[in-house]
Structure 1
């Protein structure tokens, strides 16, 4: 609200609203002078706050009758208030209404300058994917009310923003980053129509941030072609080493990467069998093992250079693996383990 009031004051100082505003101010002062001079001493209407109220209700022709001048001079002041309200007041009200309507239209069409702070900026508009990412973000209480701004290419959004309650839009042009308040964002995700376009756009985005002090904005590059990830990462590293890459086709992965800087690489490594860090193996726990503490099993594997990643409920192909551990959780015979190791681990269950 303070921002709107500041813009309104600035607008009133502009040429279109200046004259009616000045006429109202002159009428206010003239009416006050006449009433102060001619009304009886002690009259309520001479009190500044009461006169202000009288000027408003008279200028709008509401006329409650709770205050009224009793002298000829005071009534002349009342006439000035009424006439100025019917002329300059209506003109000013009309200008303000048009200004507000224009501001709403500009915001809906992506032409307005926003005032967000600590928000999420997504460069590249694809409505279904955008809504899916925001839906995943909203599931986190820390991001439930975080504003999202999407900067769209000229041919990506026709007409007004179809989801004004979900995200704001900004049309891509020379002032797009400034109007989206990019330098004040919490995170920025670039999703080009191709991966090469993502690199080009990220180059301009990073240059804009450097010109504006390079604040700690978390930068993410959304990729379409996983086979070119290494090539794209090399190109992005030349721009700045702080850019993360994320597979844009999975909204849940994008949302997790936005919320948790640095984890995008973990998702990629898991999806590609962890690259050179090791391989993901499934180890079935023999039926006759009985029960073992999950912590003991995890420590045993860690001491041998392996990591217990998840525990499955059965030996079935779909074992419902769980990454999170319950307090004092036990691993029992008939379950399965997901283990990251350089080679398939052999677990001596009898000696554990």
Structure 2
């Protein structure tokens, strides 16, 4: 009897967004050795790094050598929002526009906006080199600025529309769809408005949705599956992870900087507890599988986890990765059972 092939996917930077190609290749080798068939290319998911053509060839060849198919990538919106202050405190800069970004597709400075468009096109090019059909993208809304300065809201979205109008045909010609991700720290109502507006303006051949399960459990306070249920028909990518959510008193602290830092700390990126044996996590993976099965995404759904070995142990890191692979295969089987 022919053995059924089970597909599974885990992102390339499961241990960290490492810069060295030696470390990147080690993690890809680990994915292959653990049994994963697919991945989401995550390196340089934030910041303003531009891949050269030779690096795109290298990315393609390293993946090919280890037999891993990167069917999606994570692009960068430009800049870095997670920083440490001089006194060592963690800060997540998301409520207002950042002034230190040089490539920003939402910028009101046309030079910087166009540089941000170039950054998006660079990642679309990377997709074509590695045969990825989906590009996950952040649009971290400066929601306090939009709330306090209504005139800025119109300008903000005008710039977004300009950039997406310029990128649309480039992406379509490359056979790449952009999937906007639901974010942490930004309240649900602002994200609802954002997705509704953009999905109404752009067709599904160009723009869709990437669901981060952990982000949803943190920000969708009444229903952790709100975005999944609402946008699954345009869901082209996933970041499947689990956490313990966050208590209201920590989410709504008076010190808003500290509140956002807390949200970041609670974004655990635990391995999905698909079969209930891991002893952690709060999400219903049967429910999630039923919606993934109805979505137009290419299976397998991508896991996005954080794995590091105890006391830096490479052996423990790999042991956890093998368990992650087991859970990913179980999730794939659940999805197939709902088809």
TM-score by length of 1: 0.28
Q: Which fold has the larger relative contact order, with Cα–Cα distance below 8 Å and residues 6 or more apart in sequence?
A: 2
Structure with max Cα Rg: 1
